[in-house]
Structure 1
Amino acid sequence: MNNSNSIPDRILLTRRHLLGSLAVAAAATIPIAAYAQTASAASGTATAQAIADHFSSVATMQGEFVQFGPRGEQTGGKFYIQRPGKLRFNYDNPSPIRVIADGKNVAVGNTKLKTWDLYPLSKTPLSLLLAQRIDLSAASVKSVKQESDLTTIALGNNTVFGNSTITMMFDPKTYDLRQWTITDNQGKDTSVMVFNVKTGVQFDDKVFRVPYEVIPGTAAYRD
C-alpha cells in the first residue's frame, strides 16, 4: 500500500477517477431542517426518503457512465454496483484506470503502470452511495432539494469525511438515479452521469475482487 500522501489527499485521487462540474451539482440546496417546519415540507421529506429507499432497494446494477472532472476533463466507461459496498469502474481506452470497491476498501489501479492505491471504503463518501439503506433522518444528510424534474440529496459526515460530500440526483417520477457528484475538501467536483442501466444483474465474485496480492503493504502482498 502506498501511503506517501495523507488519506484526504489520496482519497481525492479516488474521487477524481470515480466521479466533475455540472451546473445541477452546484445548484443551491435547502437544508433538511427546513422541511420539518411545515406540513408540506414534511411531505417533501417523505418523498425524498421514498426515492432514497427505492435506490437502496436495488441490490445490483450495471451500465455505462460519463465522468466530468474538476478541470472539465471527460471520460467514460462501464460501471457495476452490488449493494452493500461493492463497485467497479472500468474506464474506456486509452484510460488505464480501474476502480474497485469490495465492501472493505476502494482500490484505484493503473493497468499501464501496474500500480494500485488503497483506501478504506468507510473513509470515503462512496460508502454512503453504496450503503444498504440511505436514511435521510441520519446526521449524514446535508441537504435535500426537490424540483419538478430532479430530486437532489447531499450526504456527508464532517467527522469522517471532512468537508467532502456526495450529492445524488434522482428522477422524481421514476426514482431512477441520474448522476452523482463528489465534492472534495477543496470544493472541487467530480460528477458521474449514468445511462443504459440494468438492475437485478448477477455478478461473478471476481468482478469486485481487489488484487491485494499485488498491492504493497497488504497482508496478501507477494514479493
Structure 2
Amino acid sequence: MKFLRPAAACALACLPIGVMHASPAGAQEQMAVGASDQDHALLERVEHHLDAISLLKARFRQTAPDGKQTTGTAWIDRANRRMRFEYDPPSPLLLVANHDQVVFNDSQLDQTTTMPMDKTPLGLLLRPHLQLSGDVTVTGLSRDGNALNITVVRTDSPGDGSLTLLFHDSPLLLRGWIIQDAQQETTRVDLLDIHTGGAMPPDSLFNTDLPEH
C-alpha cells in the first residue's frame, strides 16, 4: 500500500487473517487430527453463538503493538456483512465495512484507503455463518477460568498471520479479538458494554462513500 496507516487501524483493516504466529502445516494437521470430541463440540457451540449474533453494538478499547490505546463505538451487522468502527476524538480514524469492501479514513492525514473485505480479518468476523473448518483452520484453543480463546488462520495461507477470537464462557459471549501478523506485531480489540439485537441502525451509518484524497 502507498499510504502510511496508524497501527490502530491496521489492526482491523490492514493485517491478513491470522493469530499468534505462522504455524507449521504439520502442527495444524496434528491438532485437527488429535482434537477431542469435547473440542469439536465446543467449536460447534462457538459457531452457533456467532450465528446468533446478527447485530451488535459495543464500546471498544483497541491496544496497538506499541501499547497505545484508543477507544470508540463499534456497530457490527453480521446479517448484512457490514461494520462501523468510530473512534473517539481526538483520534482521526474511521473504519466502515460494507459492500464487500473495507474503507479506512484518516482525516488527519487526509487519506482514504479501500480494500477487499475478504482480505482482512473483518471478512471472517462478518461472515453470516462462520465455519471453523474448510478455508479456516483452528490452530489454537485455550481455556483459562471463564476465558476461552480460539485461534484461526486461513487454511491456504497460514503464514500470513492469525486471528484469535476472545470469548467469555458460561454463558458464551464474544468479547474481542487479537490479531498478530507474520512479524508477531500484536493488536488487541476488547468489546465493552455489549448490546446485541435491537433496532437496525440507519443505512447511512455504514456509508462507505468517504472522502477520497
Query: Paired residue for 1:188?
Result: 185
Question: 1:140: Cα distance to partner?
Answer: 1.2
Query: Paired residue for 1:57?
Result: 52
Q: Give the distance between the partners of 1:146 and 1:35, measured in 2 at CA.
A: 15
Q: Give the distance between the partners of 1:156 and 1:35, measured in 2 at CA.
A: 13
Query: Paired residue for 1:72?
Result: 67
Number of residue pairs the alignment of both structures matches: 202
TM-score norm. by structure 2 comes to 0.81
Query: Paired residue for 2:139?
Result: 143
- CA RMSD, Structure 1 to Structure 2 (Å): 3.0
Greater relative contact order structure (CA < 8 Å, 6+ sep): 2
**Superimposed CA distance per residue, residues 113-154 of structure 1 (whole angstroms, 9 cap, x where no aligned partner):** 432111111111220111111212224123231314222122
Percent identity between the two aligned chains: 24
Query: Paired residue for 2:96?
Result: 100
TM-score norm. by structure 1 comes to 0.78
Query: Paired residue for 2:176?
Result: 179
Does structure 2 conserve the Cα–Cα contact (< 8 Å) formed by 1:141 and 1:153? no
Structure 1: gaps spanning 5 or more residues: 20-24, 217-223
Structure 2: gaps spanning 5 or more residues: none
**Superimposed CA distance per residue, residues 142-187 of structure 1 (whole angstroms, 9 cap, x where no aligned partner):** 3231314222122222646851221101112111011201112322
How has the CA–CA distance of structure 1 residues 18 and 118 changed in structure 2, closer, same or farther, with 3 Å as cutoff?
closer
Q: Give the distance between the partners of 1:106 and 1:90, measured in 2 at CA.
A: 13
Q: Give the distance between the partners of 1:165 and 1:209, measured in 2 at CA.
A: 28
How has the CA–CA distance of structure 1 residues 186 and 85 changed in structure 2, closer, same or farther, with 3 Å as cutoff?
farther
Matched residue SS, 2:75: strand
Residue type of the alignment partner of 2:146: D
More off after superposition, 73-82 vs 161-170: 161-170
Q: Give the distance between the partners of 1:191 and 1:87, measured in 2 at CA.
A: 17
**Counterparts of residues 81-120 of structure 1 (less than 5 Å):** 81-83=76-78, 84-120=80-116
Q: Give the distance between the partners of 2:32 and 2:156, measured in 1 at CA.
A: 24
Q: Give the distance between the partners of 2:7 and 2:106, measured in 1 at CA.
A: 16
